[in-house]
Chain A
Amino acid sequence: MTIQNNDNRISRREALTLFREADLLGLGMWADIIKKELHPDEICTFVVDRNINYTNVCINKCTFCAFWRDEESADAYLLDKDTIFRKIDETIELGGTQILIQGGLHPALDIFYYTDLLSSIKERFDINVHGFSPPEICYMADASDLTIGETIGILKSAGLDSIPGGGAEILSDRVREVLSPKKIKSSRWLEVMEAAHRLGMRTTATMMFGSIETAEDIIAHLDAIRRLQDMTGGFTAFIPWSFQPGNTELGNRDSGLGISRSTIKTNPRPPIPNPSHAATAVEYLRVLALSRIYLDNIENIQASWVTQGLKMAQVALRFGANDFGSTMIEENVVASTGVSYAVTMNDIISAIRSAGFLPVQRDTYYNLLRFF
């Protein structure tokens, strides 16, 4: 198909047509051309980092999540500082440059917990702290009666370097009302990102698809990200990944894909439309390629080996992705859905190489650090 456009940028309507009708190989070829212009030399980057999930206690209880626990639950936890320090020590030892620190919305924690944690990390370690997705930041702001801007400013002065783009899920309130009724709405997610960018912090953006959203929802999500990026330029990367139905309430809705979860103690909700099957490989690559084409103002697109496996991540490098994300020395959230691809840094390097690309370790800001 031919795209009619005046300024070389595809419109929402065109994106929708492409998403619905374009042949996958054609879409991939187009995404690959754009990727090669932005990232010549067939380089594929990755960051060595560790996920530190400081708590699994969460008041949001999203239906697509298998990680959360009630505060009283037997396997609820909150990591102490020594454990966190030990994890950081190990990360640095393994050549890590970043920790991704994220957790549930724990009702007993206030802003002082976080500033204390951040400054005590920064006192001890020279490491980039990439932490606290927008739902956590909003929760801190509300708990301490601060604005979002004030909260991020306080976290930044305590040592927070950058913010991960989690919790975006699908930026459509209709979908969020079903998937995660207690989670912050789309506008709040965007507000956090805008505030962070205004304070000079870089962030990533994510999208979780393959649940109950429509094609329009996906395009609306991409468009919201693109518009904010036009204003701030603060996003380093976009990371689409697909809903993993195992062990989740959403996946369990008579689809046979999830495992029943007896711990859910929430008020009855309106019936949830059921995602009958998790997104397949074809749908993942379609979303990935379209993201590369649509997000002309975001430099990096990550392949999600954690949700797709290494073979798919390799294929993704030809469908718009230029980055393998993190080596994930530790990953708890996706693993709790039963999806676990045991992967080491060497596996990542050899996977990139055998796919025909040059593996390069990068830092949080996509500066190239080390060639392999």
Chain B
Amino acid sequence: MLSGIREKVLAGKRITEEEALRLYETDDIFTLGALASHVAGKKNGRKAYFIRNRHINPTNICVNRCKFCAFSRSQGQEGAFELTIDEIIEKIGGGQKTAGRGQKKTAAPHGFSEVHIVGGLHPEWPFEHYLNMISAIKKHFPKLHIKAFTAVEIDYFSKISGRSLNDTLTALKKNGLGSMPGGGAEIFSEGIRNQLCPEKIPGDRWIEVMEAAHRVGIRTNATMLYGHIENLADRVDHLSRLRSLQDKTKGFQAFIPLAYHPKNTEIEGSYTSGIDDLKTAAVSRIFLDNFAHIKAYWIMLGEKISQLALMFGADDIDGTIIEEKITHSAGGMTGEKLTAEQLVNLIQKAGKTAVERDSFYKTVRTYR
């Protein structure tokens, strides 16, 4: 059934959307895994990456009401929170406000090299607040890489500030933004998106924001939220739109498939199957031939499936994270953090070489 596709993949040729669907529909996950591993091996050898990072969510107050989201709150609603810039600095510093004189050489007191910041679309914070947030972090922790704000937030900043996308992104970059995460992509298909998150920017706009970011020299990731109400064709369509933009800009670093979590959301439904998670990693790896990295985000897949995904085309399992709120609001079943030692163990037991990376996939340390 997979013959024809197999030959194409082994020859390094690009597969079509129709072929990606056929890969998705196969029960032969072993051939699928082997083909994905072949592609991953050509791009990254036996390496599997992790990063010492920390997540920060400045607020869960959001003007959008996406039906798959269990994290967002309205202003004044129970459970709503907003962190001040000082509180953010303290979280990063682990109780200290600066890296301290003796620690100038490290990025932050607790030895993580990247902070990942995403939050709700706050109805009152002005764009300057975000610029101040970034520059304050940069001032306190000059070596810390700031990966922040999804395309959805960037679009919102541009609206509330009256600036063009280009100006918005340039201002953030000037204040210290290092790169952008890939969230808010969900599923591009208009029909699904209208049911799932009618207030959120359409798929075309998400692509437009990412293109603008890439043009001003900001590298980003890309995601896909799967396992809710979309079908396999919607997923392949999503991957295809990402592949087309990457052909133009080459600005994406990693693709991150995100498994839907049903708890406390409006559409409920069920968790994705472990087999679906592995297939999605593999099909993404094979189809997205112009992406260097596929990330098996352990918070969403669980440690076990993330580890297996390293045998189904993924080459990255994200990082230490330390504090996670979004997936856990929707019934995430993992802990909120893993130590570097635990991440290395998962990678090595999968037969891969564990590599601690920086935010641009440069090797910080190889574990033997």
Within B47-76, the residues touching A (CB, 8 Å) are none
Number of residues of chain B lying within 8 A (CB) of chain A? 30
Q: Which residue of B lies closest to A347 (CB)?
A: B270
| Contact with A318, one of B272, B275, B302, B346 (Cβ below 8 angstroms) | B275
The interface bits of chain A over 23-43 (1 if a CB of B lies within 8 angstroms of the residue's CB, else 0) are 011101100100000000000
What 1/0 mask marks residues of chain A from 299 to 319 whose CB sits below 8 Å from any chain B CB? 000000000111111110110
Chain A 306-341 near chain B by CB (<8 Å), digits 1 or 0? 001111111101100000000000000000000001
- Taking the closest CB of chain A, its distance from the CB of B286, in whole angstroms, is 15
B333 on the A face (CB < 8 A): yes
**B26: min CB distance to chain A, Å:** 10
Q: Is the CB of B349 within 8 A of A280?
A: yes
Known: A311-B274, A312-B274. A281 touches B30 (CB 8 A): no
Known A25-B33, A26-B30, A282-B349; contact A314-B273, beta-carbon cutoff 8 A? yes
Interface contacts beyond A280-B349, A311-B301, A315-B275: sample of 20 additional A-B pairs, CB < 8 Å, sorted by A: A24-B311, A25-B30, A29-B30, A32-B30, A276-B345, A281-B305, A282-B308, A282-B351, A284-B304, A308-B304, A309-B304, A309-B333, A311-B271, A311-B273, A312-B274, A315-B305, A318-B30, A341-B333, A351-B273, A354-B276
CB distance from B227 to the nearest CB of A (A): 9
List of B residues within 8 angstroms of A283 by Cβ: 349
- B29 contacts the other chain (Cβ, under 8 Å)? yes
Give the interface centre of B270, B302, B304 by most chain A CB atoms within 10 Å.
B304
A285 CB-CB contact with B under 8 Å: yes
Interface code A275-296, partner B: CB below 8 Å = 1, 0 otherwise? 0110011111100000000000
Q: With A315-B305, A315-B308 in contact, is A355–B346 under 8 Å at CB? A: no
Closest to A351 in B: B273
- Top 8 A-B residue pairs of the complex, sorted by shortest distance between their CB atoms: A311-B274, A281-B304, A29-B30, A315-B274, A314-B274, A354-B273, A280-B349, A355-B273
B residues less than 8 Å from A308 (CB atoms): 304
B350 on the A face (CB < 8 A): yes
Give A356 to B27 CA distance when docked, in angstroms: 8
Interface string of A347-369 (1 = CB under 8 A from B): 00011001110000000000000
* Nearest Cβ on chain A to B359's Cβ, whole angstroms: 27
Asked whether any CB of chain A lies closer than 8 Å to the CB of B223, the reply is no
Whether B278 sits at the interface, judged by CB under 8 Å, is: yes
* Interface residues of chain B: helix, strand, loop or mixed (majority): helix
Q: Is the CB of B302 within 8 A of A309?
A: yes
B34 sits at the interface (CB 8 A): yes
Listed by A's residue number, 17 A-B pairs whose Cβ atoms lie within 8 Å are A25-B33, A25-B34, A28-B30, A280-B303, A280-B345, A308-B304, A309-B302, A310-B271, A311-B274, A311-B302, A311-B305, A315-B308, A317-B275, A318-B27, A318-B275, A350-B270, A356-B273
**What are the interface flags for B269-288 relative to A under an 8 Å C-beta threshold, 1 for contact and 0 otherwise?**
01111111110000000000
How many residues of A are counted as interface, with CB atoms below 8 angstroms from the partner's CB atoms? Answer: 30
Check B30 against A285 for contact (C-beta < 8 Å). Answer: no
| Nearest Cβ on chain A to B87's Cβ, whole angstroms | 30
Chain B residues lying within 8 Å of A318, measured Cβ to Cβ, are 27, 29-30, 275
User: Are A285's CB and B308's CB within 8 A?
Assistant: yes
Q: How far is the CB of A307 from chain B (nearest CB, A)?
A: 11
The answer to whether A355 and B308 touch across the interface, beta carbons within 8 angstroms, is: no
Which of A24, A28, A311 is most buried by chain B, counting CB atoms within 10 A of its CB?
Answer: A311
In the bound assembly, the distance between CA atoms of A285 and B303 in angstroms comes to 14
Closest to B342 in A: A277
CB distance from B279 to the nearest CB of A (A): 10
Over the window 177-192 of chain B, the binary record of Cβ atoms lying under 8 Å from chain A Cβ atoms (1 yes, 0 no) is 0000000000000000
Residues of A near B302 (CB, < 8 A) are 309, 311
Residue of A nearest to B349 (CB): A280
In this complex, the member of A276, A277, A308 whose beta carbon has the largest number of chain B beta carbons within 10 angstroms is: A277
A312 to B275, CA, bound (A): 9
Chain B residue at minimal CB-CB distance from A276: B345
Contact with A along B321-364 (1 / 0, CB 8 A): 00000000000010000000010011001110000000000000
Which residues in chain B, 286-308, are within 8 Å of chain A measured between CB atoms? 301-305, 307-308
Tell me, rounded to whole Å, the shortest Cβ–Cβ distance linking B302 to chain A: 6
Nearest neighbor of B305 in chain A, beta-carbon distance? A311
Which one of B27, B301, B311, B333 lies within 8 Å of A282 (CB-CB)? B311
Q: Which residues in B have their C-beta under 8 angstroms from that of A341?
A: 333
Chain B residues within 8 Å of A, Cβ to Cβ: 27, 29-30, 33-34, 37, 270-278, 301-305, 307-308, 311, 333, 342, 345-346, 349-351
A25 to B271, CA, bound (A): 24
Q: Which residues of A contact B276 (CB under 8 A)?
A: 354
Interfacial chain B residues near A32, Cβ < 8 Å:
30
Chain A residues with CB under 8 A of B277: 311
Contact status A25-B278, CB under 8 Å: no
Q: Contact check: which of B37, B275, B350 meets A314 at CB < 8 Å?
A: B275
- Tell me the complex Cα distance, A354–B346, Å: 26
Chain A residues whose CB sits within 8 angstroms of the CB of B33 once the complex forms: 25
| A282 and B307 form a contact (CB under 8 A) | yes
Residue of B with least CB distance to A277:
B345
Give CA–CA (A285, B345) in the complex, Å.
16
Q: How far is the CB of A311 from chain B (nearest CB, A)?
A: 3
Q: Which residues of A contact B272 (CB under 8 A)?
A: 311, 354
Q: How far is the CA of A71 from the CA of B354 in the complex (A)?
A: 47
**Chain A CB within 10 Å — which of B274, B345, B346 has the most?**
B274
Across the interface, A312 reaches (CB within 8 A) one of B305, B345, B350, namely B305
- A165 to B29: give the CA distance in the assembly, Å: 31
B270 touches A354 (CB 8 A): yes
Q: Specify the chain A residue showing the minimal Cβ separation from B33.
A: A25
Minimal beta-carbon separation of B146 from chain A (angstroms): 31
Residue of B nearest to A352 (CB): B273
Q: Which residues of A contact B30 (CB under 8 A)?
A: 25-26, 28-29, 32, 318
Binary contact track A259-285/B, C-beta < 8 Å → 1, others 0: 000000000000000001100111111
B1 CB to nearest chain A CB (Å): 14
Q: For the complex, give the distance between the alpha carbons of A32 and B30 in Å.
A: 10
State how many angstroms separate the Cβ of B333 from the closest Cβ of chain A.
Answer: 7
Query: Chain B residues near A24 (CB, 8 Å)?
Result: 311, 351
In the bound complex, do residue A280 and residue B273 qualify as a contact, i.e. CB atoms below 8 Å apart?
Answer: no
| CA–CA, A99 and B311, complex, Å | 39
Q: Name the residue among A280, A285, A317, A341 with the largest chain B CB count within 10 angstroms.
A: A280
Query: Chain B residues near A28 (CB, 8 Å)?
Result: 29-30
Q: With the chains together, A28 CA to B278 CA distance in Å?
A: 14
Most B Cβ at <10 Å: residue of A24, A26, A282, A318: A282
A87–B304 Cα distance when bound, in Å, is: 34
CA distance A356 to B302 in the complex (A): 20
